[in-house]
Structure 1
Amino acid sequence: LWAFPLSKAKPSDPKVEFENILSLAKHLLSDTKHLHQNFKAKYPLEGEHKLDTLPVLSINAGELSTIQVSNGLAKLSTDLFLYQKHFDWLKKAAHGVRPMDHEFTSIHNRIDKLVKKIDILMVRLNIVRVSDPPLPQLPNSTTQWNVVQTGHAIFHHFHLFLDYATRVLFLMKNKL
């Protein structure tokens, strides 16, 4: 028998990992846009819808260039965790919007995959993970009206967040 030396797994390049994370975020953004359009078509509702438990984008376009990799990844991970909890609630409360249950699950799973990849990158870059934020207090009422209104708010804000996140990930990747 031939003896081959065991090859050690090469530590992956953080830029390559950033590229993978950025690709996931872009695909999630595209899927979210599509699902948001479907949601709006099936459940039209005019006006702006707010939900106080959603993460707040606390940085403006001018400050994007100053974002640090450690703080940026930690904030993205925390905010994605919160959005995941909102989609969990939406999926559970969506008895009135059952035809979209599969799509909610798909978005949830993609968020989970993105959070895990960001967390792995944070470990490789020795970035301390902030403890998970407290779970948001989402509405107790699951009437169809409440679910639709909350769904509109979640989709709208998540779409904006993902647009922001892809820009931030691109800028952070270039800082490595």
Structure 2
Amino acid sequence: MDFDSILHMAKHLLGDTKRLFNNFKAKYPLEGEHKLDTLPVLSMNAVDLSNIQVTTGLTKLTSDLFTYQKHFDWLKKAAHVVRDHEFTSIHNRIDKLVKKMDHLMIKLNIARVSDPPVPQLPNSTTQWGVVQTGHAIFDHFHLFLDYATRVLVLMRNKL
């Protein structure tokens, strides 16, 4: 039942992220692919997905969510530059999802590894820098959530 709740939260977060990213792209169009070295890397293929274990899967997803949460922290603080406050809702939903996953890990007696180091994001923010970083964060987070929902379905089926 906890997996269903987490899966439901992840799917809703995916939908909200897609909507907010589309709004962001409409307000601040920026062509091309935007990269940010501090974002988690998804290096899973179909074979890796089918072999995913609940313990390692939850640990990795929680760790990556923490990293995205820190990126949205930065984006939320920098949002005054672009006068956009939609980042707060995403940040709050990530926080709820992380807490729910932490609770499930405790319930399943899965030891949580320490949080990854806080990513080093720019100290000074220009409108251009915030827009570029926002595009990279939203794009990668959208891909991560799509991946995470698939992984959660596979893990739920293994229990």
TM-score, normalised with respect to structure 1: 0.89
String of CA shifts for 1:95-136, please: whole Å, max 9, x gaps.
2221x21x2111000000000000000000000101011000
Structure 1 counterpart SS, 2:34: coil
Of 71, 85, 90 in structure 2, the residue corresponding to residue 86 of structure 1 is 71
Q: Within 2, Cα distance between the matches of 1:61 and 1:106?
A: 32
Partner of 2:39: 54
- Quick one: which amino acid aligns to residue 144 of structure 1? Q
TM-score, normalised with respect to structure 2: 0.98
- Quick one: which amino acid aligns to residue 80 of structure 2? H
Of 95, 105, 128 in structure 1, the residue corresponding to residue 88 of structure 2 is 105
Partner of 2:4: 19
- Quick one: which amino acid aligns to residue 152 of structure 1? H
Measure how far apart 1:159 and its partner are: 0.1
Calculate percent identity across the aligned residue pairs.
Answer: 79
Q: Within 1, Cα distance between the matches of 2:117 and 2:48?
A: 27
Of 137, 144, 155 in structure 1, the residue corresponding to residue 127 of structure 2 is 144
Structure 1 counterpart SS, 2:158: coil
- Quick one: which amino acid aligns to residue 110 of structure 1? R
Structure 1 counterpart SS, 2:21: helix
Q: Which runs of 5 or more structure 2 residues have no equivalent in the other structure?
A: none
- Please report the RMSD computed on the Cα atoms of aligned residues, expressed in angstroms: 0.7
Q: Within 1, Cα distance between the matches of 2:125 and 2:15?
A: 28
String of CA shifts for 1:64-107, please: whole Å, max 9, x gaps.
01000000000000000000000000011122221x21x21110
**Structure 1 residue 124 and structure 2 residue 107: aligned?**
yes
Structure 1 runs (4+) deviating above 6 angstroms are: none
Q: Within 1, Cα distance between the matches of 2:123 and 2:30?
A: 21
